[in-house]
């Protein structure tokens, strides 16, 4: 069974078996994460495992507001474009992962059949980089975020000789996530956020415990201007409150 991502996204279709996935592969991934002593070694082992299974590449994004990043061997141009254009909001695979939170296979529909122009553009660009079908395994991570391992193929369709072992799949990807975290893996792509000098300055004062009225006095600005810069900073950081904005800006080393 495979999920077809076309005009009516994620409708199941029965296709002839092409690629077999067995529990042994996930066991090999678990073994790889246990001996991966560095993020460089983990990335190389993950590439080799993907190729052994017949896939052209892998992507391991950690999807968060603003600070989404990925470890992947996809073409660097595609990785940069995907995050710069915030394709996590467009990608039907990410949408399916969020809805189901279980391993699944997928195939992109024809760009002409996609429901929206943004999805049609996404399909066409992904196909240009040889990404047309694959397997995705999402997991929940801390504070309601999501990580997901995707193995991608340039084939138009994909099906399996056996069903995916959900427990083995989720276990192996959870261990992979923990291993990347433990080794402080360097992302191969990350979404960049920029603040203006005034936005950063106001957030920095806020992080130091100053109220907006105090910031206005210190910086010889009107209260309205401080409020303006802080609101724009919150929008840039996709934050719903000032404390969240200052926390994100601090974590991203913007202030």
In tens, the pLDDT along 41-92 reads: 999 999 999 998 889 899 999 987 777 889 999 999 999 999 888 898 899 9
The range of the structural domain enclosing residue 243 comes to 197-251
Q: Identify the DSSP state of 108.
A: E
Pair 167, 217 in one domain:
no
- Report the run of H or E that residue 233 belongs to, with start and end: helix 223-236
Contact 70, 44 (CB under 8 A): no
| Pair (124, 22) in one structural domain | yes
Q: Which of 14-18, 205-209, 237-241 has the highest mean pLDDT?
A: 205-209
Structure-token pair, residue 230: 């802080």
For residues 247 and 174, state if they share a domain: no
Question: How much is the CA Rg of the chain, to the nearest whole Å?
Answer: 21
Mean pLDDT of 220-246: 92
18 and 68 fall within a common domain = yes
Long-range contact pairs involving 24-29 (C-beta distance under 8 Å, separation at least 24): 25/49, 25/53, 26/165, 26/168, 26/169, 26/171, 26/172, 27/168, 27/172, 29/172, 29/173, 29/175, 29/176
206, 89: one domain: no
* Residue 14 pLDDT > 50: no
Residues 239 and 169 placed together within one structural domain of the fold: no
Closest by CA position to 133, among listed 118, 148, 114, 150: 150
The predicted pLDDT at position 110 comes to 57
Same domain, 223 and 186: no
Please indicate, yes or no, whether residues 121 and 156 belong to a single structural domain of this protein. Answer: yes
CATH number where 64 lies: 3.30.450.80
pLDDT in tens, 19-44: 445 578 888 899 988 887 788 899 99
Tell me the two tokens of residue 201. 């300055």
**pLDDT grade for 220, boundaries at 50, 70 and 90:** very high
Task: Provide the domain count of the chain.
Answer: 2
Give DSSP secondary structure letters for 54-78. T-SEEEEEEE-TTT-EEEE-S-HHH
Asked if 154 and 233 sit in the same domain, the reply is no
The number of beta carbons lying within 10 Å of the beta carbon of residue 194 is 8
Of 191, 193, 201, 194, the C-alpha closest to 230 is 201
Domain end point (choices 190, 207, 236): 190
Rounded-to-integer distance, Cα 118 and Cα 54, Å: 29
- In terms of domains, do 211 and 156 share one? no
Domain boundary among 165, 190, 215: 190
Query: CA 114, CA 208: separation in Å to the nearest integer?
Result: 48
Q: Quick one: pLDDT at residue 6?
A: 45
> Does residue 111 surpass a pLDDT of 80?
no
Same domain, yes or no, for 158 and 221? no
Query: What CATH number does residue 218 fall under?
Result: 1.10.10.10
Q: Which two tokens stand for residue 89?
A: 């909001």
Same domain flag for 61 and 16:
yes
Among 151, 174, 190, residue at a domain's last position? 190
Nearest-angstrom CA–CA distance, 193 and 21: 39
In this predicted model, which residue has the larger pLDDT, 240 or 191?
240
């Amino acid at each position: 069974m495979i999920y077809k991502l076309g005009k009516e996204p994620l409708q199941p279709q029965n296709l002839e078996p092409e690629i077999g996935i067995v529990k042994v592969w996930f066991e090999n991934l678990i073994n790889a994460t246990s001996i991966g002593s560095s993020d460089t070694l983990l990335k190389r082992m993950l590439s080799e495992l993907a190729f052994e299974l017949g896939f052209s590449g892998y992507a391991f994004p950690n999807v968060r507001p603003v600070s989404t990043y990925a470890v992947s061997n996809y073409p660097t141009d595609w990785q940069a474009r995907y995050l710069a254009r915030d394709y996590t909001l467009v990608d039907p695979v990410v949408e399916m992962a969020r809805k189901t939170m279980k391993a699944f296979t997928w195939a992109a529909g024809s760009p002409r059949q996609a429901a929206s122009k943004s999805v049609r553009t996404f399909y066409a660009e992904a196909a240009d980089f040889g990404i047309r079908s694959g397997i995705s395994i999402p997991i929940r991570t801390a504070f309601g975020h999501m990580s997901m391992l995707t193995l991608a193929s340039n084939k138009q369709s994909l099906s399996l000789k056996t069903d995916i072992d959900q427990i083995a799949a989720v276990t192996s990807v959870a261990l992979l996530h923990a291993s990347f975290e433990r080794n402080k893996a360097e992302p191969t792509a990350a979404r960049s956020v920029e603040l203006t000098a005034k936005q950063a300055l106001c957030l920095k004062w806020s992080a130091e415990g100053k109220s907006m009225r105090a910031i206005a006095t210190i910086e010889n600005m009107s209260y309205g201007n401080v409020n303006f810069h802080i609101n724009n900073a919150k929008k840039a950081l996709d934050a719903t409150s000032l404390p969240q904005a200052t926390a994100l800006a601090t974590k991203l080393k913007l202030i």
